[in-house]
Amino acid sequence: MPTVTQAPLSGRYLSFAEREEIAILRARGCGVREIARSLGRSASTISRELRRNAATRSGGCEYRATTAQWHADRRAKRPKVAKLVAKDQLRGYVQERLAGKVERPDGSAVAGPQVRWIGRRHGRRADRRWGRAWSPEQIAHRLPLDFPDDDAMRISHEAIYQALYVQGRGALRRELTACLRTRRALRVPRARSRARGKRFVTEEILISERPAEAEDRAVPGHWEGDLILGLGSSAIGTLVERSTRFVILMHLPPMDDRGPRIKNGPALAGHGAEAVRDAIAAAVTTLPEQLRRSLTWDQGSEMSQHAQLRIDTGLTVYFCDPHSPWQRGTNENTNGLLRQYFPKGTDLARHTAEDLAAVAAALNSRPRKTLGWKTPGEALDEYLRSCQQASVATTD
């Protein structure tokens, strides 16, 4: 039987078909880990299944799928009282750490803004309910420190999440989800979170494959890029050269003139894949060839047409690891400087291409400590002059 390569699915209950497969493989003499690999499950799940749901009436410890399914169904039907329902002290501790009042140094409570719970996630810039806001994991791991001798004061973080999200588990009101950092009123299914990876990113174009000369900033021509976003899905594209810190800003106006929205068509906000590809190509093709070595971007969908960009410009594109903005540290720092001119929460579409060129010129003429107080424009000009002199010397 071929081995399943997906991650172990230890959080989902075993199905009857899987139990039949376990019985067949067990009869063949397969070990626990071999069965786990075949089913794409963790070894602990298979071991627990063989131990709990074995058929023991014959005096042995055989495993039969029908008997195992009967044991599992019977065990699931038995009445279970949630730990947070049965233990008032534990429930009070959890609620206090989730939604307790924020206090001043003198001990007086701070109410914070009044936020009505509406059963869904609030907008990014809406007021949030103030609370102590410990995460369930922090609460679960703090209990043994606060109650080292009381084994009853123990609970897992998953049990706290279930008490918040699963109806019938009781004890905790769903309104307390507003105190979680995500503020989600519903849990995101695990299968959906696994599918968030970008399909256009392969191992060959991850940042780990970027040449060493780009990492140590020895040679100019290696760029980092990103988008800064504003009100109404407005955006500005940013490119910064790693060695000289030279900045290029890309104008990304809305594409409303392209007509009505079409399914699977270009994004009308102005920073879809086609718009970003064309803007980068227009900016990069004006540069000398020695300044077109590589581009590092995060795994945003706006770069899904990176292959065509490489064909058009000859620029090799690399992608950062997921949720790792520090791998584009130069660009992140530059974006912070640009927020002086383009604050968050403002409409960036009102700025013209000439406005962006003026701001880029201001940054490129600002002395930088990392360049020995030279400006990025001077550092780039010095490099291009040295390349020109080397070319003339080679010709002579």
pLDDT for position 59: 66
CB of 183 closer than 8 Å to CB of 177: yes
What is the chain's mean pLDDT, rounded?
83
Would you say residue 380 has pLDDT above 70?
yes
Task: Quote the DSSP letter at residue 301.
Answer: G
Under the banding of pLDDT at 50, 70 and 90, the label for residue 182 is confident
Would you say residue 373 has pLDDT above 80?
yes
Give 135: exposed, middle or buried? Use CB within 10 Å, 0-12, 13-18, 19+: middle
Under the banding of pLDDT at 50, 70 and 90, the label for residue 11 is very low
Strands 102-103 and 109-110: antiparallel
For residues 309-325, one letter each, b for 16 or more C-beta atoms within 10 angstroms of the residue's C-beta and e for the rest, the string is beebbebbbbbbeeeee
pLDDT for position 78: 64
pLDDT for position 254: 82
pLDDT for position 194: 53
Does this model's pTM top 0.85?
no
Helix (H) or strand (E) holding 387: helix 376-395
CB of 155 closer than 8 Å to CB of 143: yes
Would you say residue 116 has pLDDT above 80?
no
pLDDT for position 24: 93
pLDDT in tens, 69-115: 988 888 777 667 778 888 889 989 998 888 887 777 888 887 777 77
pLDDT for position 191: 57
Question: For residue 294, which of 278, 279, 306, 282 has the smallest C-alpha distance?
Answer: 306
Would you say residue 208 has pLDDT above 80?
yes
Considering 165-174, 237-246, 255-264, 387-396, the range whose residues carry the highest mean pLDDT is 237-246
CA angle 298, 181, 302 (to 5 degrees): 20
pLDDT for position 331: 95
Under the banding of pLDDT at 50, 70 and 90, the label for residue 5 is very low
Two structure tokens written together for 276:
């970003």
Under the banding of pLDDT at 50, 70 and 90, the label for residue 198 is low
Low-confidence winner among 137-151, 184-198, 321-335, 358-372 (lowest mean pLDDT): 184-198
pLDDT in tens, 31-79: 999 999 999 899 999 998 998 888 877 667 789 899 999 888 887 776 6
pLDDT for position 62: 84
pLDDT for position 120: 63
